[in-house]
Amino acid sequence: MEYTQLGRTGLKVSRLVLGTMNFGPQTDEPDSHAIMDAALDAGINFFDTANVYGWGENKGRTEEIIGNWFAKDAGRRDKVVIATKVYGNMGADGPAWPNHDKLSALNIRRSVEASLKRLRTDHIDLYQFHHIDRATSFEEIWQAIDVLVQQGKVLYAGSSNFPGYKIAQANETAARRGGTIGLVSEQCLYNLAERRAEMEVIPAAQDYGLGVIPWSPLHGGLLGGMIKKEVQGGRRASGRAADALNDPAVRAQVQAYEDLLDKHGVEPGEAALAWLLTRPGVTGPIVGPRTAGQLESALRAVELELSPELLTGLDEIFPGPGPSPEAFAW
Active site residues: 53
Q: Write the DSSP string, 106-123.
A: HHHHHHHHHHHHHHT-S-
> What 3-state class would DSSP assign to 58?
helix
> What 3-state class would DSSP assign to 86?
strand
Identify which of 210, 41, 10, 219 has the alpha carbon closest to the alpha carbon of residue 18.
41
**Terminal alpha carbon distance of the chain:** 42
Contacts of 299 (CB under 8 A, 6+ apart): 1, 16, 42
DSSP 8-class letter at 318: S
> What 3-state class would DSSP assign to 212?
strand
Amino acid in position 82: I
CA distance 163 to 184: 15
Beta-bridged to residue 13, according to DSSP, are 4
Q: Are 51 and 59 in contact (CB under 8 A)?
A: yes
Q: Does a cis peptide bond (omega within 30 degrees of 0) precede residue 325?
A: yes
Q: Are 174 and 186 in contact (CB under 8 A)?
A: no
